[in-house]
Structure 1
Amino acid sequence: MVVKTTKKVRDADATQARILAAAKKEFAKSGLGGARVDEIADRAKANKRMIYHYFGNKEDLFRIVLEEAYTDIRTAEQALELEHLPAREALEKLIRFTWEYYLKNPEFITLVNSENLHKARHLKKSDKIENLFKRFVGMVGALLDRGVEEGTFRPGIDPVQLNITIAAIGYYYLTNRFTGSIVFQRDLMAPEALEERLAFNIETIMRMVCIDP
């Protein structure tokens, strides 16, 4: 009986994981409005009844996918263990991580874009996001304080503003890569262009934060 119960739990967990992975791809590709539950069910090798049973309606499923997406990036940031590095080295590592995360997880950017079109109405219903971001802002704030103590960072920098800037200089580049490649007459996604952009991002942030960049 215990074995059967354990297997049932494992099967349920595996099904939910497949549904979430399929939903992430579908929402990232088509947005909330264009995403189809039938397509998610096909991708997940599940049926619509199971999706509604585990996650409620499509709006609820979208909110959970968003929560999972934000949880993933915030968890990965915590795993960097920046507190064990000198502040300047830690900040550069965070900038590199953010850029590389966006490149490796393009669905994250499209999901965030989609939620902004809906004026964050799903995140407003989330009881997870606030705690996730409190921990992250606390981590960046501690990094900045350490840099001031080490004599490398200017005092008085707002960790929220810094995070917005780090995110923005990578986010904008990637969300506008197609139009930018035409307007500026260069392939913004060529490997050398991506390396050049990362170096520019690091230099920009360091000049903002460091006493002696």
Structure 2
Amino acid sequence: MPRAAKPDKSNTKQVRDAEATQAVILSAAEEEFAIHGLTAARTEAIAAKTGVAKSMIYYYFKDKEGLYQAVLERSHANLLHVIQQLDFSLEHLAPEVALEKFLSALLECVSQNPKLPTIMFHEAVQNQGKYYKRSSSLNIDKTLMAILDRGVASGAFRQLDSFQAAINIMGTCLFYFIGAGNIQQHPQGRRLLSKAMLEQHIQEVIAFTLAGVKQ
């Protein structure tokens, strides 16, 4: 009886090392893109932060655009996972409860990755959403609009345009993170990204949004 082939430990280690290297590159790239956006971000700076040769960045991600797209996908991955898990259950909840759960999940995820809104701000200003539309993150907006449409149809929410309402709701959620550098000056000393302030932001957004959409 032939012996079963032993797993190639060297190949397994190479895969793990490659995954670890890519994760380090993506973390450094996320920081660089959050500060500079795609246009002004430099792969040299990303390589310097990681200690990885610039050629390795191109080996794994082909070019700066490929790296940027990978950062967008990774930045949204946790949020998309949470929203997708919620998506089925949201259909069976009262619209106001579904909206509250959606907002809570969205803001909890963004609080864990506060660079994400800034990256998306640069994406809108520099690229007019060119790379955003290629990502799967559009599903987040669709889920929110579906909740709003269902709320209007059931009479739980006032008459509203779900597209316009979703824009304003997302702005209410995310500007806090984009404008944190300015907002924390009024008054000085507030730590906007502290756990306590983030929890307060989540509760205020939920209360503000529900008050705005209910009949």
TM over 0.5: yes
Instruction: Give ranges in structure 1 of 5+ residues lacking alignment.
Output: none
How far is 1:185 from its partner?
6.4
Match of 1:200, as an amino acid? Answer: E
From 76, 101, 124, the equivalent of 1:116 is: 124
* 1:187 to 1:18, Cα distance in 2 relative to 1, 3 A: closer
Aligned to 1:179: 182
* 1:33 to 1:193, Cα distance in 2 relative to 1, 3 A: same
TM-score (norm 2): 0.74
Asked if the contact 2:38–2:122 (Cα under 8 Å) also holds between the matched residues in 1, the reply is yes
From 57, 64, 75, the equivalent of 1:51 is: 57
Aligned to 1:106: 114
| Residues 186-201 of structure 1 aligned to structure 2 (within 5 Å) | 187=190, 189=192, 194-201=198-205
* 1:48 to 1:204, Cα distance in 2 relative to 1, 3 A: same
Aligned to 1:162: 165
Match of 1:210, as an amino acid? Answer: K
From 20, 23, 28, the equivalent of 1:17 is: 23
Aligned to 2:214: 210
Query: What is the rounded CA distance, in whole Å, between the counterparts of 1:186 and 1:5 in structure 2?
Result: 51
How far is 1:6 from its partner?
4.7
Asked if the contact 2:121–2:178 (Cα under 8 Å) also holds between the matched residues in 1, the reply is no
Paired residue secondary structure (1:12): helix
Q: Percent identity?
A: 33
* 1:153 to 1:101, Cα distance in 2 relative to 1, 3 A: same
Asked if the contact 2:152–2:158 (Cα under 8 Å) also holds between the matched residues in 1, the reply is yes
**What is the CA RMSD across the aligned residues, in angstroms?**
3.2
How far is 1:153 from its partner?
2.2
TM-score (norm 1): 0.75
Match of 1:20, as an amino acid? Answer: L
How far is 1:96 from its partner?
2.3
Instruction: Give ranges in structure 2 of 5+ residues lacking alignment.
Output: none
Paired residue secondary structure (1:124): coil
* 1:79 to 1:167, Cα distance in 2 relative to 1, 3 A: same
| Residues 127-138 of structure 1 aligned to structure 2 (within 5 Å) | 128-129=134-135, 131-133=136-138, 135-138=139-142
Please state if 1:76 is matched with 2:89.
no
